[in-house]
Structure 1
Amino acid sequence: MITEKVKSKDRYQDFIALQALRLNETFKRVMDSLPGNDYARLRDQVNDQAQKYRSFAPPEEHIQRLQLRFMPPAKRQELINHTFFRLNGVQKATAIHNLAKQLPVLDNGQHQALVDEISQGLRDKYKAKAVAGFGKQLHVLTAPQRQHLMDAIFRLRGQKNQAIAIQGFGEGLSALDNDQRNQLLNTSMAMRNEETKAIALKGVGYGLKALDNNQRTLLIQAVLNIESEASKAIALKGLGQGLPVLEHAQRQQLIDATLNMMGDYSKAIAIVGLGQGLPVLEHAQRQQLIDATFNMMGDYSKATAIVGLGQGLSVLEHAQRQQLIDAMCNIQHGRAKAVAIRGLCKGLEVLNDTQRTQLIQAIGHIEDEDFKALALTGFKSGLERLNGTHSAQLIEETLRLNHRPLKVAVLQSLLSALNPQDELQRQPFIDAIRNAVNAAE
């Protein structure tokens, strides 16, 4: 429950208030410990932010944060009406895009209204963005509604606009019939500009599991035939989720195409995609990707690849995990190192105590406090699995931050990841927050 001075009578407004400051129940004792002036300032910020949403005049970047499941039906309709009649251009397209992602909590009439609105005066580049938002929820729509959106894609002028729309449709290919999937694949393969083609093929790649064997073969060949490394990497990034349905030889083709790239960053982008399929790769294939990552010269490229492979730490052997940690330790740039640490934190549960210690100690080599905070908050994903010593090390690294608001924000972020019932693990973080706040008085 939000503290009484902030709490509203509306569950949706409660949610907005919480979102505004990223607070939740675990921070009540922290809020109670704040000096009076700080408390009043925070309360005013919450109320001001909630008022912005009550007016339903948010800029497009706020619309995507609105969670329809927290809104009463009347307010959902009010937001849709606001989108249709008050917004224009990119704001309207972005609003439709983000409303479409939440179709399951809307009713059939609202589904139809959103689909119909696609044809109401948006310029093609904005229409493409709006259409792309429907992709993941295509299964919620009726067959005529899906066909209406398909027709909208093929009426778009400019292949780049079509590519953007197709990219969004990829995750919903299983809801389309085979003829519709063929249409999207053939349209993508026929695009002349390689970057545009890569964007579209990446989208079709997201739906690789929904394609038949012939369509998969055509898709893979189209990706491999792209000459530009940067564009080929974009297309390869979309194929990782579908690796389980490919044959061994096809997987090896994709790995070889990645390893043969001369540019480290393009190679890293491709590895991010292939990293999603690590569980189905053979040991030798995984090792090829790990070796390529370790040998990269650029810090940002190496960090990007580590994030990609971090998705599959649980299927790697101990030595392979260690090789990725060693690669992270070799990164010099603060932001790149922070990104790599966050990527490895996704697999904290499978790292041993020594490897977890290495991750925490690596934070001490980051000089910029913002980047250090970025690394520290990465431990949220596995914080509950850390022992008391590691938790104390994290708190110690956080307390070394000189900027008090940043220090408190990091501690709050870490605290939010802990089980509210686990008082033993939570108490050191609560004490650290209280001490950090009181130290400024």
Structure 2
Amino acid sequence: MLEMYNQSKEHNEYSLPTYATRHDTLYSLGRQHYVPVNSQPTTDLPWNYKIPENDDEKEDDNDNNQEIQELNELIASQQLRELSTNITHNEEILMKDMKAEIEKIPNFLTKHNNSFKQMLYEAQLLIKSTSPTTTIDIKQLREVAIIIYKIMIIQTYHLLWTAYLKSGEGDLIISSETVSIWPKDITSLFKLNNTTNSHEIYLNFVNQQLHALDHQLNICKTELNTKKNNICGYSLMVQKIIEAYIEKHIQSFRLKIEHQIELMHYDCHIRIFKLEYIRHNPNQYQIEMMNKICQSKYEQETTGQEYNFLKQQIDYYNSPSQAFQHLPIAQTTGIGTIENAEIREDFFNQYTEVALKVRNNLFPLYLTTAADQKDEFKKKYEENIKKLFTDGIFINGNRDLSLFLIEIINQRCEKISERIKCVYRFKVQSTLLSD
């Protein structure tokens, strides 16, 4: 088999034209919760990590790069020793962002939050209904709620890191073979350059985080039991009221974690199809065509989903519920500082008229541009697929094999398409939740 693309090239296999200008303007003319497509990375996709060559190619690479390999292994060994030391002597180390999320007290659990006070009042009434003579310290109930919040956050993170571990060990999805993919969330934390011990380093690190989460969870559960036992009349029903309140307010956080896990599953499926393709010893041209078709599918599906998402956003901004004075563009400090009310109102009306006119002219232009790109990439993908069946270089004298390879390409493209749809479903969900 001919030499495959190097890793740096594969890391940039999928890319799209930038939408920044259109999105930035839409953002300013619309609402602040609008999420541009470029917030989801379009390069360095995890399924594009380089697949190992056959044994002969590995020997050649090792001969040519032995000094670099030895240096990388030395660095990796040192990092592994340092990591092992951390695991042994400091079992409570958690990544900074996780620790901050667990330890923070969100606004919805502060004593000044009205909805929180209402929930605690309902919990008090329930306790008094079963223990009328009980004197309830509202502070104790609030402390219980904070601990329950921590437990829920820890448990959600535990699901994510368990998925990281399964993905790295090749156990995330049921398959005829073990396919190990360490998600970029993990690999980006280390600069290992695919050294021999990289898998072991990732494995130790993820296990360290899981161990630390377990440790924190046990501490919180012990503390929760102590707090509950100190509240006379506390019951399972009281706890369910508190949990339901917290669950409602951490829904967006849970959705984000579930989305990350879902994408990991797609990445594994996409990587498996690539391995299956390579297993049939395609030549260099056939490998290039697979990459080209998958890139084309990525472009076609992304521009299609972007068009639909953009249309939804424009329809939303133009809906009667979205009064202009509540949009970010209307919050201009200059007009608000005019002391004369009559002049201020006159200026604002003129400003509103001009801004709405500009918006009404730009939105159709954005939609037309997005539609043109959608149609362009759809046509490009269909032409590339059609070409495969008549491409003599791709068929290479073996029609049965080429048809089998085309089927694998189609299956891989379908998973790429599903992954992109998943990304946009999450965008829509996030938009709805923010409202």
> Given the two structures, how large is their TM-score scaled by the length of structure 2?
0.22
- TM-score, scaled to structure 1: 0.22
Question: Which structure would you say has the larger RCO, counting Cα contacts within 8 Å and 6 or more residues apart?
Answer: 2
